[in-house]
Amino acid sequence: MRNKNFIIAIVAIFTTLFLGSCKTLNQFADSLNNLQRLEFKLDNVNNFRLAGVNLSNIKSVSDLSLMDGIKLTKAFADKKLPAQFVLNVDARNPNDGKGGSKQSTATLSSFDWKLYIDDKETIAGDINKEFVIPGTGSSEIIPLVMNIDLYEFFGNRGYEDIINLALAIGGQSGSASRLKLDARPTVKTPIGNINYPNRITIVDKGWTN
């Protein structure tokens, strides 16, 4: 009888472990599938300042005030053109329970990124807090604060070309079209954080996953 009870206990333990393993594997498969369905796109650029000069309402170099022109010229002569701006990234979670997908909310715990300007690699960073992306099919904005010295990367282009580049990105008619992000998102799941299998390239012209 003792041996029989022992065997039953062993079978129960292995059954529990097996079922637990199957559940974990299913959770992992669901989490990985949902993760790979997340989509990203560059939205817009705002609050662009170059060497302390607000370019958000400036359309061209000729629109700069005398004082702002002097500030930028001096910064260029000093070989420093620090730019600060916010690059907004659209994140969309299509796991809304329609079309056979399981409805789920995604929590972005890391977003390791590298910024490219005119296809030139510049600075890198990550988010400093988690972002929740509901499974509703709608998108959420992830604001990335950028701090970059444009002279360091584009000083060889000359003063006017750098100013025009800054205006093309963050001026009155600016856009994110000359930017792209090389990123690797990480999503929090019931079984821990899961990284994207590969890095992805995010641009403003269409969704990337």
Q: What is the pLDDT of residue 89?
A: 97
Lowest mean pLDDT across 25-29, 78-82, 106-110? 25-29
Q: How confident is the model at residue 197 (pLDDT cuts 50, 70, 90)?
A: confident
- pLDDT tier at 35, thresholds 50, 70, 90: low
Residue with more model confidence, 77 or 33 = 77
Instruction: Determine the pLDDT at residue 170.
Output: 97
Count of residues in the chain: 209
pLDDT of residue 17: 47
User: How sure is the predictor about 189, in pLDDT bands with cuts at 50, 70 and 90?
Assistant: confident
d(CA 165, CA 163): 5
pLDDT digits (tens, 9 = 90+) for 83-117: 999 999 999 887 655 655 566 778 899 999 999 99
Distance CA 13, CA 22 (A): 14
Per residue in 145-174, pLDDT tens? Answer: 999 999 999 999 999 999 999 999 999 999
- Categorize the per-residue pLDDT at 9 as very low, low, confident or very high, splitting at 50, 70 and 90: very low
Looking at the predicted structure, is the pLDDT value of residue 19 above 70?
no
User: 62: exposed, middle or buried (C-beta count within 10 Å: 0-12, 13-18, 19+)?
Assistant: exposed
Per-residue model confidence (pLDDT) at position 2: 43
Q: Which pLDDT value is given to residue 194? A: 86
**Whole-Å CA distances, 11 to 18, 20, 23, 177:** 10, 14, 18, 61
